[in-house]
Chain A
Amino acid sequence: MKDIIIIGGGIIGCSIARELSRFSADILLLEKGNDVSVGTTKANSGIVHGGHDAYPNSKKAYYNVKGNAMFDQLSKELDFPFRRNGSMVLCFNEDLKCGLNDLLARGEQNGVKGLYIVDGDKAREMEPHLSKSVVAALVIPSGGIVSPYEMAVAYAENACTNGVEFRFLSEVTGLKKEDGIFTVTCADGYTEQAKVVVNAAGLFADEINNLICERKYQVQPRKGDYMLMDKSVGYLADHTLFQQPTKMGKGILVTPTTHGNILVGPTATDKLDKDDVNTTIEELGEAFAKALVSVPTLNKRTIITQFSGLRAHIPENDFVVEESEVEGFYNCLGIESPGLSAAPAIAVEVAGWVAEKLALKANANFVATRKAIPQFSHLSNIDRQKLIDQNPLYGNIVCRCEVVTEGEIVESIRRKPGAVDLDGVKRRTRAGMGRCQAGFCTPRIMEIIARELNLPLEEVTKRGGASQVVFGRTK
């Protein structure tokens, strides 16, 4: 029996796992996919919101503002890419300028510091590629950008170091509580018991909740299409550029990423299917057209990839972060934007509740820091040479676009929890994420994965399941 089972290996599950690993407890994380960060966490805007947008007194506002303040220290401790680049909300119409005042007031009420409004000229001084039609902008200096999957991996690795057990391909299909003990059953027949269960199942958190609680929820997957632009146009935006929000969300943004690309999106379309990450011509076109309103010099020819992600929207329109009606069963539900920004604060809060419930003692061996895989492309030449001296695999460049070495790829596979497929390697090392989109490096990375995991090449997948890349030998 475990003390705690966490269901879900996205940013919420991984961050809670890490915060709980500060305590002395037997913790198991169950994830439906074959890796951490394979759902909503892997495909979103990567924005650390200031907290101006959520309604005052909502949980979204509370956790967002609290979480935002934690990123500087956290990104140092866990060594993941984060930059406080600041956000701007753009206004294109004199008549709508009052909307910015409302947002500013709302932000201040939420406790966001440093907000101010600038006129169009000042906005363009701050962001030279902004449209001439911008008449004013709300500036949110505390806004930031983060690499969401690298953040989740960092949390997961640190949790693992501190004793959390991860079990993948573990879709929870059964959950009951008898005599104060939870029994969790997975689709593959695996069963485990625990004193406490934390539901961090993202898009599927409603289904987990509904297995055990009377109070039912329904997550409405809300799809957003994105386009990623080449680093060569990374100069087009430094701040995260929002347009004024609508009731479907914060609208189309143009933002730099922590790796220097430009990201455009997301659209917002409600879907029936929680697996429907189909981009459409219409939505991509819409996103691009709207992005052009903010930054008219964006060029379609510099797009290197498109993707879409699903937000876990609930009609209640706020986070559910609670100990549910079932004692010892904790819900993190409806964690859509600003969930990524809020995750550090949610994790500390939930971990605190659980620790109190189980009267957990501090983990005397807790290690608060985690080092990222050395990123060859970012090192000085002297450090590069040192790395190659230590391990010659760092002298084999596999992904030429992002300058990723074999050493980094091997490390990403050997770490716990490690990459098991092409997308897992990509999220951890950026191999295949550059302008050729893995055209040259796919066969090499497949070889490395096959070698490290002792698999035949035909069993190497893009992202687990039936996503095999090749169908066996030609001969």
Chain B
Amino acid sequence: MRKMNLVIVGGGPAGLAAAKAAYDCGERDILILEREAELGGILNQCIHNGFGLHTFKEELTGPEYAQRYIDQVVERGIEYRVNATVIDVSKDKVVTYVSAVDGLTQIQAKAIILACGCRERPRGGINIAGMRGAGVFSAGTAQKLVNIDGYMPGKECVILGSGDIGLIMARRMTFEGAKVKAVVELMPYSSGLNRNIVQCLNDFDIPLYFSHTVVDIKGKDRVTGVVVAPVDEKLAPIMDKAELIECDTLLLSVGLLPENELAKQGGVELSNVTGGAVVDENMMTNIDGVFECGNVLHVHDLVDFVSAESENAGKCAVAYINGLESCAEKIAINCTNGVRYCVPTQLNRDDNYQPLNFKMRVANVFKKVELAVFADGVKVFGKKRPVVAPGEMESINLTAEQVETLKKAQHIEITLIK
């Protein structure tokens, strides 16, 4: 069996950034395994602009952003395989992958970074009744068909869900000559960015219905229409106000789910909230030497944050390979009062007091709040925000001193002061 220091599962933005950072920390024995035909991951189909303002201080399209990292990986001579699907990650860190070129290959890794992204919640996951004709796509599938393959998945669309992919696809379909009749959002707010509501919907007079949902899908062979109904405050459809919208296509943008089947096989403990692994500040999971970063860990809004998080994972994986011992005692971080989750989810009880970045999401829209971190009931950090929303990831930076306080505490809490 081949032995390697670091195997990175996934050659999208997370895997590429992790590989680059690991190399720059001195590691040379790295292999990236990518299941698609090219590196870059989902960025390859995100041909719109809006990527890279943090990382590169300029606004790039998805393929351009990916290429920047691909170039860095190639320049460093980091080994990678494409069309190579990992089918198993064992508890003792044997990675099994399959490709037409290499056949079935097993590698004993010292460290593994899981960077395999997320998938879209399908129709079944939201229990929409109706017929099962062609024409119901997740927004990302439609995005691939249009942007990579160059085929039109529909002429008249309704989009369920106002997440960014749904909004972006509303504009994309419009650009390609389709009519987008409505974007329907279950919640009273969008989980997408405001700028995308402006430039993807408002610019083209596409109506956005908040607090509505699709309750029925018509059409035996191909979709002929969807029935849309408002929902009450318990999100239950008000059926006597339901209306038919004729269309041939329903695009679903109803959430992204970290793709953690491999992690589960490998015994990685997952969070019920994020669907990703429980990780410490080194991005290490409960399995020594197995790390997670990017959308497999938790779904991000901005690829720039994926890159930053993944570079950290790459760096920490190298430290582990070089003999950093894992810390036995973990301090859980409690999210309360409207904070849905934070990453990292726990801290090591050690004396490594480095500045630390927390990413978090809130559970609802709140105005005029303070994001605060408490150690044993004492406020260590506070950050005032005019408005926070579930669709926008919040970020807080703690100094080394603040981290020291936390690591010495018995009880850590991240909360919203309203």
Chain A residues in the interface with B (C-beta under 8 A)? 227-228, 232, 275, 277-281, 283-284, 300-301, 303-307, 381, 384-385, 388-389, 392-397, 400-401, 403, 405, 435-440, 442-443, 447, 457-458, 461-475
- A437 close to B151 (CB less than 8 A): no
Q: Which residues of B, 137-193, contact A by the 8 Å Cβ criterion?
A: 137-138, 140-141, 144-146, 148-155, 176-177
For this complex, 13 residue pairs linking A to B, each with C-beta atoms less than 8 Å apart, are A279-B129, A281-B216, A381-B104, A384-B104, A388-B103, A397-B98, A440-B141, A457-B149, A461-B134, A466-B222, A469-B153, A472-B152, A474-B150
| Closest chain B CB from A340 CB (angstroms) | 21
Contact A436 B35 (CB under 8 A): no
- Given A463-B221, A469-B153, A470-B151, is A437 in contact with B123 using a C-beta cutoff of 8 Å? yes
**CB of B402 closer than 8 Å to a CB of A:** no
Is B300 an interface residue, CB under 8 A from the partner? no
> Which residues from chain B contact A228 at a C-beta distance below 8 Å?
124
B124 touches A396 (CB 8 A): no
Contact A281 B119 (CB under 8 A): no
Residue contact A384 to B98, C-beta cutoff 8 Å: yes
Distance A360 CA – B215 CA, assembled complex (angstroms):
55
In the complex, the number of residue pairs spanning A and B with C-beta atoms less than 8 Å apart equals 145
Which listed residue, B103, B135, B141, B220, touches A389 by the CB 8 Å rule? B103
A474: min CB distance to chain B, Å = 5
Known: A457-B151, A463-B221. A439 touches B120 (CB 8 A): yes
A439→B141 contact, CB < 8 A: yes
Q: Which residues of B contact A395 (CB under 8 A)?
A: 98-104
B161 CB, nearest partner CB in chain A, Å: 14
CA distance A232 to B144 in the complex (A): 28
Residue from B122, B123, B133, B153 within 8 A of A470 (CB atoms): B153
Given A306-B124, A388-B104, A466-B221, check contact A471 B98 (CB 8 Å): no
- B124 and A437 form a contact (CB under 8 A): yes
Q: In the complex, A392 Cα to B102 Cα: how many Å?
A: 9
In the complex, residue of chain A having the shortest beta-carbon distance to the beta carbon of B131: A278
Q: Is the CB of A471 within 8 A of B155?
A: yes
Q: How far is the CA of A465 from the CA of B150 in the complex (A)?
A: 23
Contact status B122-A400, CB under 8 Å: no
Which residues from A are CB-within-8-Å of B266? none
Contacts of B134 in A (CB 8 A): 461-463, 467-469
Q: Does B386 touch A at the CB level, under 8 Å?
A: no
Interface residues of B in 79-105 (CB under 8 A from A): 83, 85, 87, 96, 98-104
Distance, CA A392 to CA B101, complexed state (A): 7
In the complex where A397-B87, A437-B123, A475-B150 touch, is A278 in contact with B130 (Cβ < 8 A)?
A: yes
In the bound complex, residues from chain B placing their C-beta under 8 Å from that of A301 are: 125
Closest to A288 in B: B127
Residue in A228, A381, A439, A458 whose Cβ sees the most chain B Cβ within 10 Å = A439
